[in-house]
Amino acid sequence: MITTIEHKNQSFKVDLSKPLDISIPLKASKENVNAWYIAAPKIEPVKDGDWIGKVSEGASTNFNTISFNPHGHGTHTECIGHITREFYSINNVLKQFFFLAKVITVIPEQKGEDFVINEDPIKNAINSANIEALIIRTLPNSKDKINKQYSHTNWPYISQEAAIHIRESGIEHLLIDLPSVDKEKDEGRLLAHKAFWNYPEAPRNRATITELIYVQDEIKDGIYLLNLQIASFENDATPSKPILYPVIN
């Protein structure tokens, strides 16, 4: 289904029949993607005495309880409430769900024992003043990102300068295929989070960060319509399902 979209005084076409899902599904397994030193998620039927909420065990319905952490167990979208003393809910912050986005591929640069996404490749990749969302795919991009165990791996991260440039480019929604835009063990400095949200100087309360996405190699760098779908959690973060639609020239 080809649809014409009007956006910031320009129009473009997208094919809504060809969605590209860049989320990682959550499953009750040690093979589920994991970060931040926590156990695997659980999906278990409710038990009440001899009754088990599972059709194969004699119940009329499947009735599961799910235990997970949005930050460590899969694709999630977070708001500024992730780093503030005051409570902010992603459910109240994110009120629009379609954005003009750009997918870029970046090779993190080695700096000592770290791998860093610096400002220069970000500058070179952002050449559209009208995009609202930036989607960063890091290389290498193997399929083990879907079930990688990230704890104690010192994953790549975005430099403070690169995060500032992203903010100053007008990007409101930042998506990345890593557990965090920041270094795994940084003594709580959270330089990229704070730079992107401009916290505490002039907080950008409507901006969001989405982490632990997976952008398959078949998805080319370029401009897309992003549908950033979230679950309605009153929390700083929620599981999310970002969907891309190619823009037709």
pLDDT of 164-206, one tens digit each? Answer: 999 999 999 999 999 999 999 999 999 999 999 999 999 999 9
In this structure, is residue 158 part of a structural domain?
A: yes
Structural domain including 211 reads: 2-24+70-248
Q: In what order do the strands lie in the sheet with 109-111?
A: 109-111, 114-117, 157-158
In this structure, is residue 58 part of a structural domain?
A: no
Residues 6+ apart with CB under 8 A from 186: none
In this structure, is residue 38 part of a structural domain?
A: no
> How high does pLDDT run on average in the chain?
96
In this structure, is residue 114 part of a structural domain?
A: yes
Total domains in the fold of the chain:
1
In this structure, is residue 40 part of a structural domain?
A: no
Residues 6+ apart with CB under 8 A from 26: 32, 41, 68, 73, 74, 239
Mean pLDDT in residue range 86-105: 97
In this structure, is residue 63 part of a structural domain?
A: no
Mean pLDDT in residue range 205-221: 98
Q: Please indicate, yes or no, whether the overall pTM of this predicted structure exceeds 0.95.
A: yes
Instruction: Report whether 133 contacts 100 (CB < 8 A).
Output: yes
Chain centroid to CA 146: how far? Answer: 13
In this structure, is residue 37 part of a structural domain?
A: no
For the four alpha carbons of 92, 98, 99 and 102, in that order, the dihedral sign comes to positive
| CATH number of the domain residue 242 falls in | 3.50.30.50
d(CA 150, CA 68) in angstroms, rounded, equals 16
